[in-house]
Structure 1
Amino acid sequence: MSRSLRRGALAASALVISLATLTACGAGNNAQTLGVEPDSAAVTVDTISVQNATVVTQPEADAEGPAVVTGTIFNNGRSAQTLDTIKLPGRNATVKLSAAKGSGPITVPALGSVQLGGEGNASAVIENGHEAARNGDVQEVVFTFSETGDVSLQAFVSPAASYFKVVGPSMLPMPAAPAGTPSGSPSEPGEPGSTETPAEGGTPSESSSSSH
């Protein structure tokens, strides 16, 4: 092969490698571009998308108390929808929904989103959470919307620890008081029931009864 042909082959190879590199750089690390599914539960039905859905329980495995359903709901439609119910099929559990403000339903605005869980956000509280889910399980969660209807996914069950702590149940069990701790506050000096000895220096009656 002549030198000119070899130079042409090398140049073509370099061009192919350069194009492949640029294509890979252009793709970036976006999960959708790379076709990688996220670790957290996510689903899209019609104009509704539910992402990062998780059932968050008490931080201690044997602690009694409520659990919560967390996640972000996106409405890509041109009309608002309400989240009517959340159900956990196969579990004897009631999920109480509360809007971020007021007593009305949870409304997902058109072309907007709603966050479930966390301070100042809407909430979905599983009242008997200790019986409804176990840490490490995968639980089916069904969101029912006013127009889209049922949106179902498989959500992980995790304790309110690490980054789930800020979106976990707000009603956490109170630690038990140590044995022997008095129920009331200690008496102040001079009050009935006080066992404190008065400071030295005499009583008020001594100054009035002293002889000259």
Structure 2
Amino acid sequence: MSRSLRHGALAATAIVFSIASMSACSAGNDAQTLQVRPDNAATSVDSIKIQNANVITQPEHDAEGPAVVSATLFNDGDKREILETITLPGSNAQVKLHAAEGKGPIIVPAGGRVIIGGKGNAAAVIENGREATRNGNVQQVVFKLSRTGDIGLGATVVPATTFFEEFGPSSLPELPSPKPTQTSPTPSGESSQTPGVPSDSPSGTPASSTPSDSATAS
């Protein structure tokens, strides 16, 4: 190899190392700087895509309370789908679904998406979450939709900390406040006594009258 070619190769190598060093310095060792996020389960069947699926438990290991399933469901079809159930095969856990507005089914609109988990979103609550699974495991989760049917995937079980804190177990969507029952007030100065019923009658029925002596004598 000629001297000029060797010099060119060395210069190119130096440039590569220089760029790599600058990239490393700008990124640092901070995962947030690198925008690294935990791997979340995702899959797709027909027009339905499920992303960011996780089972999120209480933030403290020994804490009692429910767990939740979090996920985002996309519908690329031209007809809406209804999320009928979420099940956890291999466990006795029951998952209760709650729409974002607190009533009705969870609907995945045509050409849209629905987010499960997090404030203001739909919720999928595992009542006996601590018994259902353990942190660090991969839990099989099956989403049953009205048109597509069952879609299963393995979701990681994580505590409600760091990235998952805002999607973990929390209060359910707020239900509409029931309207207060209005009762007709009794006008002041009027008695609530039933007309024709003497006030001294303890049972609320008219007291029977005893015939007078004069009537008996006649």
Q: Taking structure 1 as the reference length, what is the TM-score of the superposition?
A: 0.62
Residue aligning to 2:50:
50
Q: CA deviation at 1:61?
A: 1.1
Q: 1:66 & 1:74 partners in 2: Cα distance?
A: 26
Q: Does 1:144 align with 2:136?
A: no
What does 1:9-158 align with in structure 2 at a 5 Å threshold? Answer: 39-158=39-158
- Residue identity in the other structure for 1:100: A
The alignment's C-alpha RMSD in Å is 1.0
Alignment length, in residue pairs?
A: 134
Q: How many Å separate the matches in 2 of 1:87 and 1:76?
A: 23
Task: Give the Cα–Cα distance (whole angstroms) in 2 for the partners of residues 74 and 51 of structure 1.
Answer: 8
Aligned to 1:190: none
Aligned residue for 2:163, secondary structure, equals: helix
Distance 2:109 2:87 in 1: 22
Distance 1:39 1:120 in 2: 24
Amino acid in structure 2 at the alignment position of 1:74: F
After superposition, give the CA deviation of every residue in 1:54-96 in whole Å (9 maximum; x if it has no partner).
0000011111110000010000100000000000000110000
CA drift of 1:133 comes to 1.2
- Gapped runs of 5+ residues in structure 2? 1-37, 172-218
SS of the equivalent of 1:103 reads coil
Runs of 4+ in structure 1 over 3 Å off: none
CA distance in 2 between partners of 1:101 and 1:76 (Å)? 23
| Secondary structure of 1:157 counterpart | strand
Q: Which residue of 2 aligns with 1:169?
A: 169
**How far apart are residue 167 of structure 1 and its match?**
0.4
Give the fraction of aligned pairs with identical amino acids, expressed as a percent: 62
Cα shift at 1:51: 0.2
Task: Normalising by structure 2, report the TM-score.
Answer: 0.60
Task: Indicate the SS of the match to 1:91.
Answer: coil
Give, in whole Å, the separation in 1 of the partners of 2:50 and 2:165. Answer: 20
